[in-house]
Structure 1
Amino acid sequence: MQFDQKKTHDLKLNPKYQNLLKWGLDNGVIIKDVDLPAAFGELTGVVATQDIPANTAIICVPQTLIISQEKCKLSSLSIVYDKHPELFDENQTSDAEFNILIFYLFNEKKKGEQSFFYPYIQAIQTNNTLIDWTKEELSQIEDPIVLDEFAIVSEDLKVLWNYAQDIFNEFIQIFGEVRPTDKQDFYWAAQSVMSRSFGWSLKSTSMIPIADFLNHSNKACTHYFVHSKVEKLEQERLQAKNNRRNNQDSNSDIDDLQNMEDSFIRLVQEYYKIKGNKINLSALKIQQDESKIKQFEDQKKTFILQHQQYLTENQLKDIDNLENLSNEVKRSMINWINYEKMIQKPEVNLWDLGFVTSSDSEDNDSDEDLELARNQQLESVRQKELIEWKIKLKEEKQQKNQKQGINIQEITIQQQNQELNNQQNEGGYKTDSENIVTISLNNEKKNQLTIQGLPTQQIQTLKQNQQQMMEQQEQQDKENESDDSEESNWDWLEENDQEAYFCITTTEPIKQYEQVTVSYGRRTNRFLLSWYGFTLPENKYSSFNFRLWLNTEISKEKMQSQKQIFDTITINKLISSKEWDTGKIKFNGYEIPVSSITKEFRIKKKKLNMDLIMYLRLYLMLYKVQEKDVYITIPVSVDYEVFVMQFCIQLLQHYLNSYSQELAQDIKELDTQISFSRRFALHINRERKEILINQVMILLEAIIILKKYKESNDLKQAYISEIHNNVHYKVEILRGLKGYLQSIHEFL
């Protein structure tokens, strides 16, 4: 949304914002190169008043203004927290930090103008979480799991309110007499903590005035905790050290700096991590050598410049203006480069696409331990199937040789000698006993794969797969870099330290009049709507999530239609903790064992979901066809792969048919003036349909490639002619299929 100067002028006349800013500035908040409040359509946020470089601190809030768990425990509410550990002790409940903040904020609101935080509280009088939505508004969200998650949040809040009433009566001397507005104010406090608190990379969940007026987006600022005194001392130390190295300032005070006896400074220096090498701290009046600060790199621009020889004449006209081009235009140029490389270089295959994209990044709303366990289990299955596949391949070869009347023993000896010669030439070795596949991780070499027992081509392919996974992880690490807490120990931080600041910091350049946003984490729209009450129009972290029931009786029943089959095996609900404990769920009239339900499939917008393909290989083998020797992780035939993908398309189409209106109607309605609740509901509904449609398009393209491959037995030549007429779209499809196409090339 564009910056609206007129609406911004009106917002600035609002006393609640004027009082908030005056209170913040009077109490040490520093604001540089940005302004608030600022209007962007109907949203109120923060605007850049000039071009701002990457890695620059723009809003610094002193620790004295931060409402932290520790500060709450030092207040008059400490007796309340101690008396009720079932609500406020993190060892007894995972909601302790939230509960502590909710009760504190409620009490501060009840104090009115007597509260130090009154200007802040007045400025956040309204919230827009799902708690305030009507039943009719909630019914417009066509995602059952969002509604299930909200129902849990809503019920938990009701239970907390019931506890709160008893506590208020118990501690009238602290909370004052009961008022008719108490429930409304308590719910306000709960919604404020839900939607405005900061948690990750902090000592504890906290409310941070003014910083929480930045809206959320994926292209956003991050935050650091900065101790200005320590940072200044560090810069002085570096300057003194540099002067001494250059034989300047012989009377430098570096010795005094190194011999400081201040115990606090030594404690801070032991645990606090310097930020001056990462971010520009000029907002805090800290002088730095800017050449030493981490520089922003536009990876798309770098890739294009490194491969500009593949660009067309028209594209080269923009080569000196890349920083002003949209990401979509740069992505199109990257896709063209990849296409031209495939055309010009015979060794470049369909899956050899340069530039690792983060468009399908995983969100951080999933259980990492469960995901790790699942990946380990899948790796075990893959290793087992590789062994079986190699043995089967060897047996087929022996049978073929026997039919041709060839002496197997002689051939085996010749093959072993040839393999030994090849490995000696490559600097490797292999014993005669190594006749099966072995894959091991070398911890000393950062989990480098050691693979034995496969033909050279398969080994190289597997190693390429590993290299690509490493590249993707590196890209993810770069993306996560600003998410990670700099501190692992917070002993240096004191609650009333006026020189400790929470600093909002840019991660990439921001243009004048752009909205300045902060990231709440890699959050899906489902999570954002459930917790914060809003969605993003475009959210790269979103996915379409569902489960399937491995119903062993489905093929035996006389189903009248495929719709009945899909209605039976698709699970569109959130499995509650109680259901996990009992081991059964009730859905669509069935009592289903949890053990027979798949893990949650998470389909991304631009990438083939291999988990679903692997599951359907197994499901269709057991209950729909009599295909022999089917593997979960390995394709066995082109025809069976096509069959699996056709079934997958029908399954996804089943989900598409469940919506009340088509995608085109969603898009048309979003262009009109509608309420926020309707707009956010449509964002959820639209993105889910787009994910499904994109996955169907990827599957359809995969079927085309498979059929052409069956005819020519050459993946690249079978499809390269299809790309020319729509390079950007087709290369995007290939990007989503790259892992799958490699497996086709490797095993078929």
Structure 2
Amino acid sequence: MQFDQQKTDEIKLNPRYQNLLKWGLDNGVIIKDVDMPAAFGELTGVVATKDIPANTAIICVPQPLIISQEKCKLSSLSIVYDKHPELFDENETSDAEFNILIFYLFNEKKKGEKSFYHPYVQAIQSNNTLIDWSKEELNYIEDPIILDEFAIVREDLKDLWNQAKEIFNEFVQVFGETRPTDKEDFYWAAQSVMSRCFGWSLKSTSMIPIADFLNHSNKACTHYLVHSKIEKLESDKLQAKKDGKNEQKQDSDEDSFMQIVQEQYKIKGNKINLSVLNVKQDESQFKQFVDPKQTYILQHQQYLTENQLKDIDNLDNISNSDKRAMINWINYEQLIQNSEVQLWDLGFVTSSDSEDNDSDEDVEIARNKQFETLKIRELSDWKLKFEEKKQQRNQQKEKNQQETQMEQQTAELTQDPDKEQSDGDLKGQTDSESILTICLNNEKKNLVTIKGLPPQQIQALKQRQQQMLEVQQQKEQIKQTIQEQRQQQDKDNQSDSSEESKWDWLEENDKDVYFCITTTEPIRKHEQVTVSYGRRTNRFLLSWYGFTLPENKYSSYNFRLWLNTDICKEKILSQKQIFDTITINKLINPEEWDTGKINFNGNDVPISSITKEFRIKKNKLNMDLLMYLRLYLMLYQVQVKDVLITIPVSVDYEVFVMQFCIQLLQHYLNSYSQELAQDIKELESKISFSRRFALHINKERKEILINQIMILLDAIIILKKFKESNDLKQAYISEIHNNVYYKMENLRGLKVYLKSIHEFL
């Protein structure tokens, strides 16, 4: 949304914002190169007042203003927290930090003007989470799982309120007499904590006044906890060293403090601009922002057209979609011009298949480990079957040769040297044909080669020994892969600022400590300045925060399936009836996990027969779903033999699986009340926030389904051409024609699958 200066001038007259800013500035908040409040359409946020470089601190909130768990425990509510560990002790409930903040914020609101935080409390408007939505508005959401999740949140909040009422009556000396507005105020406090708190990189979950008025986006600022005094001392120390001067001696208390600091606090001044805190720094040492798309384009500009080259010196000012189009063209030209470049070798830099962090990390690691284990077993089985077929062919050759030899016994007895040489050539040819090479990793650096065909028992022994060796190697590879995945996820799941793990240096009322909002990439004048709540899907954002993004690269279409092959054998059922039965569109709640079954569409479904949750991304072929359908259809189509789950073994079977997958996705698409075109048209009109956010969800889910169907249709065409020509690259290139951008976009999501086709078919 564009910055609206006229509307901004109007909302700046609002006393709530004026009082908030005055209170913040009077108590040490520092704001540089940005302004608030600012209007962006119907949204109120923060705007850049000038071009701001990357890695620059722009809003700094001092520690005394932060509402942390520790600060709450030092307040008059400490006796409440101590008396009710079932609500406020993190060893007894995972919601302890949230509950502590909710009760504290409720009490501050009830104090009115007597509260130090009164200007902050007054500035927080209604939070507009799903709790405030009417039944009619909730019906806009056509995702049953969101409604199931919200029902749990609503019920939990209702239970918390019932417990709170008793606590308020128990501690009248703390909370005062009950008032008719208590429930409304308590729900306000709960929604405020749900939708505004910060957690990553902090000692505990906290409310950060003023910083929490920045809206969320996926292109956003990060945050750091900065000790300005330590940063200045470090800066002076570096300058003194540079000037050849001796360091000034410090008193014993400061020596002790600095020792703690050196052990626990991470210096930030070596990577971000802290001029807002008057820290002197060498700007040449700052981490420079690098746009990977721009770098890729510059490195491969020889593939661009004459018209595209006109923008080569203006890449900073063109949109990401235009850069993406350039990258697609570069990759297309590389395929055409370089015979050595394969479809899966292309670098796409970034893609919208980015994973969210809404799922449990341990579940993801276990899932990957399970997949790798299954793939090892199927690779071994595939290799043994391949060897058996080779052996059978060679045995048949030997048999044919023996029959020929018996018919030519006379010739063999009088065999001349030339004939011996001929037999030698034949033997060499046979040995050559019985050489098997299998690639066991993506880089083709671990090749297993078996030569010759010795007697059957020896061959079987060699195969078993080789299989055991490969399994051991693969196990080691899995351990390394899982370790790398865990390290990467630890890195991705945390803010770039998450560095401290010990907090002895942090004092709750230390005015030298600041929570600093910091840019991660350049921000243009009049752009909205935002923060990120994490790699969150729109489903998560709507469930917890009550809003969605028009375009969210982390979103996915989630569903489960019931492995019920009996239903498919009932010929009287229509395809719709089959899909209605095997598609599970509900959240499995804790009670159902305990009982081991759910009731869905009138069926008692064992949870053990339900798949994991598939997450389909907009531009990436979902390999997990394909693997499941290979298994499901193999059990249903009993005549199909030698089918493996992780490995494609037949072009015809792959096409069959994909056609079934398309029908399944079309079934989901048909479940919506209106078509995608109607969503788009309605979003262009003036509608309520609730309707708009619900349409964002509905629209993106339809787009994901449609894109996945188009990718599958492309894959089917390529597979059929590949079956005819046995040239995978040419099969794909022949389909590009004049629609380069679309086809290269699809290749982003197909290249992993196409590589598996290349390796095994």
| TM-score for both structures, normalised by structure 1 | 0.92
Indicate whether 1:510 and 2:542 are aligned. Answer: no
For 1:252-297, what per-residue CA distance to the aligned partner results, in whole angstroms no more than 9, with x for missing partners? 2425379985322221221000111121111111111111111110
- The answer to whether 1:337 aligns with 2:369 is no
Separation in structure 2 between the aligned mates of residue 473 and residue 54 of structure 1, nearest angstrom: 28
Code of the residue aligned with 2:704 in structure 1: it is I
Q: CA deviation at 1:690?
A: 0.4
Q: What residue in structure 1 maps to residue 5 of structure 2?
A: 5
Retained in 1: the 8 A contact 2:217–2:531? yes
Segment of structure 1 superposing worse, 408-417 or 540-549: 408-417
What is residue 168 of structure 1 aligned with on the other side? 168
Q: CA deviation at 1:125?
A: 3.1
Mapped contact 1:546–1:601 kept (Cα < 8 A): yes
- Corresponding residue to 2:377 among 373, 384, 387: 384
Distance 2:252 2:329 in 1: 59
Q: Distance in 2 between matches of 1:271 and 1:531?
A: 33
1:208 matched residue in structure 2: 208
1:286 pairs with one of 276, 279, 283:
279
The 3 A distance-change label for structure 1 pair 730 and 474 is: farther
Q: Work out the CA distance in 2 between the residues paired with 1:200 and 1:123.
A: 24
* Structure 1: stretches of 5+ with no match in the other structure: 245-251, 421-425, 450-465
1:379 alignment partner AA:
E
CA separation in 2, counterparts of 1:578 and 1:365? 21
Q: Does 1:438 align with 2:438?
A: no
User: Which residue is 1:375 aligned to?
Assistant: 368
Aligned twin of 2:260 = 267
Following superposition of structure 1 onto structure 2, how do residues 373-522 of structure 1 map, counting pairs within 5 Å?
373-405=366-398, 414=431, 434-436=465-467, 438-440=470-472, 482-483=495-496, 485-522=498-535
In the alignment, which residue of structure 2 is the partner of 1:604? 617
The alpha-carbon deviation at position 560 of structure 1 amounts to: 2.6
Deviation at 1:689, TM superposition (A): 0.4
Residue type at the aligned position of 1:652: L
Aligned residue for 2:349, secondary structure, equals: coil
Q: Deviations over 1:358-397 (max 9, x none)?
A: 4211100101111111111111100000000001111111
Shift of 1:427: 12
Question: Which residue is equivalent to 1:64?
Answer: 64
Letter in 1 for 2:668: Y
| Counterpart secondary structure, 1:369 | helix
Structure 1 position 366 matched with structure 2 position 342: no
Return the index of the structure with the highest Cα Rg: 2
Equivalent pair of 1:237/1:257 in contact (CA under 8 Å):
no
Instruction: Identify the residue that residue 461 of structure 1 maps to in structure 2.
Output: none
Structure 1 partner of 2:714:
701
Distance 2:386 2:584 in 1: 38
Distance in 2 (alpha carbons) for counterparts of 1:130 and 1:28: 35
- 1:664 maps onto 2:696 in alignment: no
Percent identity of the aligned residues? 76
Paired residue for 1:177?
A: 177
Determine the structure 2 residue equivalent to 1:459.
none
Kindly indicate whether the alpha-carbon contact (under 8 Å) linking 1:230 and 1:269 is maintained by their aligned counterparts in 2. no
CA distance, structure 1, for counterparts of residue 67 and residue 540 of structure 2: 24
Aligned-partner residue type, residue 438 of structure 1: E
Distance 1:440 1:238, change over 3 A: farther
Secondary structure of the corresponding residue to residue 615 of structure 2: strand
Structure 1 CA distance for aligned equivalents of residues 576 and 540 of structure 2: 30
CA deviation profile, 1:303-332 (whole Å, cap 9, x unmatched): 110111111111111110011110000011
Supply the AA of the counterpart residue of 2:95.
D
What is aligned with 1:561? 574
Question: Counterpart of 2:398 in 1: which secondary structure?
Answer: coil
For residues 442 and 273 of structure 1, what CA distance do their matches in structure 2 show? 39
Which of 247, 257, 266 matches 1:254?
A: 247
Specify the code of the residue in structure 2 equivalent to 1:279.
I
Aligned twin of 2:454: none
Q: Mark the CA change 1:677 to 1:428 in structure 2 (over 3 Å): closer, same or farther.
A: closer
The residue type equivalent to 1:119 in the other structure is P
CA deviation profile, 1:89-124 (whole Å, cap 9, x unmatched): 001001000100000000000000000000000000
Tell me if the contact between 2:222 and 2:497 (Cα under 8 Å) persists in the aligned partners: no
**2:632 is the alignment partner of 1:639:** no
Asked if the contact 1:224–1:504 (Cα under 8 Å) also holds between the matched residues in 2, the reply is yes
Q: Distance in 1 between matches of 2:623 and 2:436?
A: 33
Q: Provide the residue aligned with 1:579 in structure 2.
A: 592
* Cα deviation code 1:158-211 (max 9, x no counterpart): 000000000000000000000000000000000100111111221111100000
Q: Which amino acid aligns with 1:104?
A: Y
Q: Is the 8 A contact 1:441 1:447 kept in 2?
A: no
Is contact 1:358-1:475 (8 Å) kept?
A: no
Q: Which residue of 1 aligns with 2:294?
A: 301
The within-5 A match list for 1:539-550 is 539-550=552-563
8 Å Cα contact 2:224/2:497 also seen in 1: no
Q: Hey, what's the Cα distance between the residues in 2 that align with 1:547 and 1:672?
A: 34
1:744 paired with 2:737, answer no
1:346 equivalent in structure 2: 339
- Aligned twin of 2:190: 190
What is the RMSD of the two structures over their aligned residues, measured on CA atoms? 2.6
For 1:441 and 1:574, the matched residues in 2 are separated by 39
1:686 Cα deviation from its structure 2 partner: 0.4
C-alpha spacing 1:428/1:732, structure 2 compared with 1 (3 Å): closer
2:390·2:434 contact (CA, 8 Å) conserved in 1?
A: no
Structure 2 CA distance, aligned partners of 1:230 and 1:484? 17
Q: In the alignment, which residue of structure 2 is the partner of 1:121?
A: 121
Which residue identity does 2:181 align to in structure 1? Answer: T
Q: CA deviation at 1:484?
A: 5.5
The reply on whether 1:356 has 2:349 as its aligned counterpart is yes
Distance in 2 of aligned mates of 1:53 and 1:446: 41
Give the corresponding residue for 2:634: 621
Q: Which residue of 2 aligns with 1:551?
A: 564
| TM superposition shift of 1:441 | 6.2
Q: Give CA-to-partner distance per residue, 1:650-708, whole Å, 9 cap, x none.
A: 00000000000000000000000000000000000001000000000000000010000
Cα shift at 1:353 = 1.3
What does residue 226 of structure 2 align with? Answer: 226
Distance in 2 (alpha carbons) for counterparts of 1:7 and 1:534:
22
Paired residue secondary structure (1:294): coil
Provide the residue aligned with 2:414 in structure 1: none
2:530 is paired with a residue of what secondary structure? strand
Q: Spell out the pairing of 1:34-113 with structure 2 (5 A cutoff).
A: 34-113=34-113
The 2-side partners of 1:79 and 1:575 are apart by 38
3-state SS of 1:222 partner:
strand
Contact 2:53/2:521 (8 A) holds in 1 = yes
Of 728, 731, 751, the match for 1:715: 728
Letter in 2 for 1:296: F
Cα distance, 1:724 vs. partner? 3.2
Shift in CA distance, 31/81, structure 1 to aligned 2, threshold 3 Å: same
Aligned to 1:453: none
| Letter paired with 1:581 | D
Check conservation: 1:642, 1:706, Cα contact below 8 A. yes
Aligned equivalents of 2:124 and 2:705: distance in 1? 38
Task: Give 1:525 shift.
Answer: 0.3
